[in-house]
Amino acid sequence: MLVDGTPYRTVWLEGSTLKLIDQPQLPHRFAIIDMPTHHDTARAISTMIVRGAGAIGATGAFGMAQAALEAPERGFHEYVAQAARTLAETRPTAQNLFYGIKAVLKAIEAEGDHVGQARAAAVAAAQGVADDDAASCEAIGRHGEPIIQDGWRISTHCNAGWLAFVDWGSALSPIFAAHRNGKRVFVWVDETRPRGQGSKLTAWELVGEGVPHAVIADNASGHYMARGQVDMVIVGSDRIAANGDVANKIGTYSSAVVAKANGIPFYVAAPTTTIDPDCPTGADIPIEERGDDEVRWTWGWTEDGRYEKVATAPARSACRNPAFDVTPAGLIAGIITEKGVVPASPEGMARVWRR
């Protein structure tokens, strides 16, 4: 995608240094940040410098490539195995992270004790994960674009645009494609508490693409659905269970329930790397609970250009911060993948998931 006319991906490797768009700086400042080691890369995932299913999947893969480049010849495989554990422990919910780590591990193990070849294989495999993610998201746009009718008003939740993947995104990819094909679209952007990925990231992307939109409080989406001002909902996913249940940013389930009550089709867009056949249902998906400071405090830019946090809850109040919730398959009109649109069902998932 373009930033001021320059093409960027969300994450890429230069030598042994990982380059990331510093997402907490957006939307007011665009900056690239360096992660010299796999330990730095793990920290970037856990602190959400990079976030979004596909983006952390590619970041995890590149982190494994960094580990292969860093590892001493003696104890090479032990070092790499420990790096895999370090990276896997950063975020528990997004399936793409584990897919990316395993893809690079498999490439390394295939080279046996040939350390030089294993290093090269790790870098190639990580790049393959990133390239595949970008290509899959572009294909999601092609498959999802025909669903969107001219003049439709679309609701989305959290950020599932190109910042959440290597390029193009999942939920926003069909919207970008529809807009580029001349369809008139309008997007209701849930702000997405507590970190504001909708108001900070999705809105920034839509501004860059010139897509008409409005940022709304999370609680307002049902109001616009009830008033007939929403024609469809499209969201991303961090993990899809074998039965078609979907884990996505907290608040997605509420949006799906209200959409169902108002007869509005609710779609999920995700590459097949997000499907976890080892999770029978959504109840088996681990849900990350993040620190209460994200609820207790809010970060933002002051009028004089300082990035500061302010307290938003009483210091003595307890806070809870689940990062995701699960939307049952029965609420989902279809899942848009790079292989086409499939039903949210065991049969639909078995048809497309990547073995």
293: CB partners within 8 A, 6+ apart: none
At 278, which amino acid appears?
Answer: D
Q: What backbone phi and psi angles, to 5 degrees, belong to 142?
A: -65, -40
Active site residues: 238
Distance (Å) of CA 299 to CA 23, 24, 160, 197: 13, 9, 21, 12
Query: What angle do the packed helices 95-109 and 53-70 form, to 10 degrees?
Result: 30
Using CA atoms, how far residue 243 sits from 155, 266, 277, 281, 337, in Å, is: 25, 17, 9, 6, 15
Q: Is the distance from CB of 280 to CB of 243 less than 8 angstroms?
A: yes
Looking at residue 147, the DSSP 8-state letter turns out to be G
Element (H, E) at 106: helix 95-109
- The Cα–Cα gap between 302 and 309 comes to 10
Give yes or no for a contact between 237 and 268, defined as CB atoms under 8 angstroms apart: yes
Query: Beta partners for 35?
Result: 18
Beta bridge partners of 6: 3
Amino acid type, 99: Y
Distance, in Å, from the CA atom of 330 to the CA atom of 344, rounded to the nearest integer, reads 7
Lookup: tokens for 289:
């609970």
